[in-house]
Amino acid sequence: MPEPLHLLVVDDDTGVLDLLRRYFTGQGFTVSTAADGAGMHTVLARQPVDLVLLDLGLPGEDGLELTRQLRRNWDGALIILTGRGESVDRVVGLELGADDYVTKPFELRELLARVRSVLRRSAPTAGNPGKQDEATFRFADYCLDPLGRTLRNGHGDAIALTTGEFELLRVFVEHPNRVLSRDDLMGRTHGRGASSFDRAIDVQIARLRRKIESDAANPELIKSVRGAGYLFAARVQTVR
């Protein structure tokens, strides 16, 4: 029987910590909690964690800086929680590598759906017999392997992608030379009905361009189509 997935909730509100601990434990997760960045790093150093729920509004600490620290030293799934009205924090959080965001106050069922969606997208598929024959994709000087969830350049070097970046690139290689709207991209990466705002996809596109384009300011692979969305202009070869 597989081990329960492990969530780490980082929030200074003890009521929120207790609520989320009880709720997610009841949903079959193992849950750890921390009230600040130091506690977060202590838990991560002590045991494997599958996903961090990080409140950006920690008093005396910059939640965005903690997001930056996580992405420098840890490659698990990350959802940011924010009660701030401005969308700028969500945008910056996504730019720094968060996989998703949830605005406070939130519905527990929506948060659970977001957690499950991110974990599903970040989970390796090697143990799924139905995925064993999944194709790899070659484009430009890269090879994308959905089974191993890796992107490698022509030298064989792995290029680190967040869950969101990986799923976005996967959608592009599966639909080359086709204009995809922001809504279409959000639906294909987060599931139909996912709530979003246009800047969320734009932010992930910008991050992905910085990793695969030779000149992110003048992209040749992921092209913007004014008023319509984005088009993946590379020639894609499917290898089974």
Give per-residue pLDDT as tens, 28-87: 999 999 999 999 999 999 999 999 999 988 888 888 889 988 988 888 899 998 876 556
Mean pLDDT over residues 113-138, rounded? Answer: 69
φ, ψ for residue 2, nearest 5 deg:
-65, 150
Would you say residue 88 has pLDDT above 80? no
What domains, with CATH codes, occur in the chain? Answer: 6-122 (3.40.50.2300), 132-239 (1.10.10.10)
Would you say residue 126 has pLDDT above 80? no
φ, ψ for residue 123, nearest 5 deg:
-75, 140
Nearest 5 degrees, angle CA 142-CA 163-CA 124? 85
Tell me the whole-structure pTM to 2 decimals. Answer: 0.65
Average per-residue pLDDT for the chain: 85
Strands (E), 63-149: 77-82, 100-103, 136-139, 142-145
Mean pLDDT over residues 202-214, rounded? Answer: 91
Q: Tell me, what amino acid is at 2?
A: P
User: Which pLDDT value is given to residue 132?
Assistant: 45
Give per-residue pLDDT as tens, 155-191: 889 998 887 888 899 999 999 999 999 888 887 776 5
* Terminal-residue alpha carbon distance, the chain: 31
CA-CA distances (angstroms) from residue 124 to 87, 148, 180? 31, 7, 26
The CA dihedral of 76, 123, 172, 162, to the nearest 10 degrees, is 0
User: Which pLDDT value is given to residue 191?
Assistant: 56
Average the pLDDT over each of 23-32, 113-122, 166-175, 231-240 and give the range with the smallest value: 113-122
